[in-house]
Amino acid sequence: MKRVYIYNDLGVGERSLEAATRSFRSLNFEVAHIGASEVLHKDWHEDALLFVMPGGADLPYCQKLNGSGTAKIKSYVESGGKYLGFCAGAYFGSGYVEFEKGHELEVLGERELKFFPGKTIGPAYGLGTYDYKWPKDGRAAQVSFVNDASVYCIYYSGGCYFEQPEKFSNVKVVARFQDINGNPAAAVLCSVGKGKVLLSGVHPEFSLELIREKGIDKQEVVLELSTKDDSREIYLKRYLQEIDLPIQ
């Protein structure tokens, strides 16, 4: 049976890992966690339905995977595989990261995968807003699919927007922020060889149940999300269909 492999190693956020794992299991996918050593040395690509890079911090991803690891992930995708990056996984899958520029947590630099050839810029809702210890910038982002007036309420913390995606022939904008000036791209689909890559600056995998369980977000965020969790589930399923996953 084909598996959804979710990366779990240095840099992966505990909540992000749990959110991705629960979401895919709730959709009846076989899920397995995979560390950097397994990415490098195991034949996971042979039974992979999808490779998921969850949220967290992308510099440790680079530390563990740059070189042979990113080459193996890229080869898997180019041969017809699928890569899904949430938040830090989206930064990691881009060509260049610009995070908290000019602030204490600044991260600037090229990335090796370059599935999205351009720049990912964050935090999307403003500089100086992020904290690795707790989601002080957590919010209910307002996101819409392209050519769809429906607005979905999706959890956000620390994510990016994608700069000038229209410049790249292999990139399709999937969704846009509706509550940020200029409505920048919140999610993109990238064609890479025979494969597909889906990158997201928001967290549709974060269920209201998990957010409540962890209990570290601001109450007003939880209250706003509590009225819209059904729309999140609709968004997530439609989102995953962009990479042709069998969604029931």
Residue-wise pLDDT tens digits, 143-200:
999 999 899 999 999 999 999 999 999 999 999 999 999 999 999 999 999 999 999 9
What DSSP designation does 79 have?
T
Average pLDDT of the segment spanning 48-53: 99
With vertex at residue 101, the alpha carbon angle to CA 91 and CA 98, rounded to the nearest 5 degrees, is 25
Strands 171-177 vs 139-145: parallel, antiparallel or unpaired: antiparallel
Q: Which residue has the tokens 């890559």?
A: 197
Question: Residue 67's pLDDT band (boundaries 50, 70, 90)?
Answer: very high
State both tokens at 97: 């990261």
C-alpha pair distances (Å), 210 with each of 17, 127, 138, 139, 226: 11, 27, 14, 15, 12
Domains assigned to the chain? 3-243 (3.40.50.880)
CA proximity to 141, closest of 115, 167, 160: 160
Q: Report helix, strand or coil for 142.
A: strand
